[in-house]
A = this chain, B = another copy of it.
Amino acid sequence: MIELVQPLLAGDRRALARLLTAVENERPGIEQALAALFPHTGRAWIIGVTGAPGTGKSSLVNALAYSYRADGKTVGILAVDPTSPFSGGAILGDRIRMRDLTGDKGVFIRSMATRGSLGGLARATRDAIRLLDAAGFDIVMIETVGAGQSEVDIVRAAQTTLVVEAPGMGDDVQAIKAGILEIADVLVVNKADKPGVDNTVRGLKAMLELGHPVARDQIASHHGTLLPLEPAANGHNPAFWLPPIVRAVATEGQGIDDVKVAIQAHRDYLAGHSRLRDLERQHIEIELYDRLRAALMTRLLQTIPAGAVQQVIDRIQAREIDPGMAVGEILAFQDQSKAKVQS
Contact = CB atoms under 8 A, between A and B. Distances in A.
Interface of A: 31, 34-35, 38-39, 41-42, 52-54, 81-82, 84-87, 89, 91-93, 118, 145, 147-151, 169-170, 172-179, 181-182, 207, 210-211, 277, 280-281, 284-285, 287-289, 291-297, 299-300, 309, 312-313, 316-317, 319, 321-327, 330-331, 338-339, 342
Contact of A280 (B34, B89, B317, B342): B317
Contacts of A281: 313, 317
A340 B227 CA distance: 57
30 contacts: A35-B322, A38-B319, A38-B322, A41-B319, A42-B319, A53-B172, A53-B175, A53-B177, A54-B172, A82-B175, A82-B176, A82-B179, A84-B178, A86-B181, A87-B179, A89-B175, A145-B176, A147-B148, A147-B176, A277-B317, A281-B313, A284-B317, A288-B313, A288-B323, A288-B327, A292-B327, A293-B297, A299-B331, A339-B342, A342-B342
A42 B323 CA distance: 14
Contacts of A277: 317
B39 A319 contact: yes
A44 to B, nearest CB: 14
Contacts of A313: 281, 284-285, 288
A170 B42 CA distance: 39
A31 B92 CA distance: 44
Contacts of A322: 34-35, 38
